[in-house]
Amino acid sequence: MNIAVFASGKGSNLAAIIRQVKSGKIKANLALLVCDQPKAGAIAKAKRAGIKVALIKRDDFPDKKSFEAKIGEALKENSIDLIVLAGFMRMLGSELVCAYRGKILNIHPALLPSFKGSHAIRDAFDYGAKVTGVTVHFVDEKMDHGPIILQRAIKIDRRDTPESLEAKIHKLEHKLYPEAIRLVLEGKLKVSGRKVLVSA
């Protein structure tokens, strides 16, 4: 199967996925990085790993529809089977979601449905939550909403700072996301409504 990773930032989850592919634990071809930020660290990581990069900037298009149409072209050109969102800081539109229904994954740095949005780590910390964590889920048309594949919890220690909590979250993400990707690739997930069942 051909995987496209979408990223807008440093690419730490991309790096974790690259390591798992190289080790043979994820049996798939990392065919494409889709990035909307020319200065994103993910680009250099992809190039070092020999992954094709599609830099598609939103500002180059008159509207979201044409922007995502260009993304769709890149996905078709590279015969993409699975999309993995790894710090891609844009919500996907309904046409793209529909075209790849059940084939788009996202990772969120909180235990959904709590603390949705782009500041989840800080929000959980500021709220005084005792527990937060990481969620991997399928993507639908709503923000941080699709059926949940895997979740893992982390205790927020009284000595934690937002920075130390972020480091703990990222460490867990780098373990959980490859695990979820493997389950998808191995056909071990069955979706029934909002429930995702994992077979042995």
pLDDT tens figures, 174-198: 999 999 999 999 999 999 999 999 9
- Residue 6, pLDDT score: 98
Percentages helix, strand, coil for the chain (3-state, rounded to 5) are: 40, 25, 40
**C-alpha gyration radius of the chain:** 16
- Domain ranges in the chain? 1-100, 108-200
Left, alpha or beta for 92 (phi > 0: left; psi -120 to 50: alpha)? beta
How high is the pLDDT of residue 199? 85
- What superfamily does domain 108-200 belong to in CATH? Formyl transferase, N-terminal domain (3.40.50.170)
Catalytic annotation, residues? 108
In this predicted structure, what is the pLDDT of residue 98?
95
**Quick one: residue 107, left, alpha or beta (phi over 0 = left, psi -120 to 50 = alpha)?**
beta
Residue range 81-104, pLDDT digits in tens? 999 999 999 999 999 999 999 999
Global pTM?
A: 0.95
Quick check: 49 and 30 in contact, CB under 8 A?
A: yes
E-only strand ranges, 122-177:
131-138, 148-155
Secondary structure of residue 179 in the 3-state scheme: helix
Q: Which residues of the chain have pLDDT under 70?
A: 200
CATH number, span 1-100: 3.40.50.170
Three-state SS annotation for 60-112: HCCCHHHHHHHHHHHHHHCCCCEEEECCCCCCCCHHHHHHCCCCEEEEECCCC
108-200 and 1-100 share a CATH fold: yes
The pLDDT, as a whole number, for residue 44 is 97
